Amino acid sequence: MAIQFNCVSSMLILVLLSISSVEGQGGGGGGVIDVVAKFGSKADEKRDLSKPLLVAWKEACATTSPAKIVIPKGIYFLSTATLDGPCKAPIELQVEGTVKALANPGAFKEPKWITFNRIENFKLFGGGLFDGQGTTAYKREGCKNHDYCGSLPINLRFDFLTNAMIQDITTKDSKQFHVNPKHRWDSHRGSDGVNVLNSEIKTGDDCVSIGDGSKNLVINGVTCGPGHGISIGSLGLFKNEEPVDGVTVKNCSFTNTSNGVRIKTWPGAERGICSNIHFEDITVTNVSSPIIIDQKYCPWNKCKINEESKVKLSNISFKNIHGTSALPEAVKIICSATLPCENVELADIEITHSGPTGPAVSQCSNVKPKVSGKQNPAPCSAPLPAKPTPTT
DSSP line for 86-106 = --SS-EEEEE-SEEE--S-GG
C-alpha pair distances (Å), 13 with each of 99, 184, 203, 296 = 19, 16, 8, 23
DSSP line for 293-326 = EETT--GGG-S-TTSPB-EEEEEEEEEEEEEEES
First to last CA, the chain: 29
C-alpha pair distances (Å), 256 with each of 126, 219, 260 = 30, 19, 9
How many Cβ atoms from other residues are within 10 Å of residue 183's Cβ?
16
Contact 367, 333 (CB under 8 A): yes
Element (H, E) at 201: strand 200-201
Burial class (CB in 10 A: 0-12, 13-18, 19+), 167: middle
DSSP line for 102-133 = -S-GGG-SSSEEEEEEEEEEEEEESS-EEE--
Cis peptide bond prior to 267, omega within 30° of 0? no
Buried b (16+ CB within 10 A) or exposed e, 55-70: ebbebbbbbeeebbbb
178 is catalytic: no
Sign of CA dihedral 41, 42, 48, 53: positive
Cis peptide bond prior to 234, omega within 30° of 0? yes
Considering the candidates 183, 188, 228, 278, report the single residue annotated as catalytic: 228
Q: Which residues are known catalytic residues? A: 228
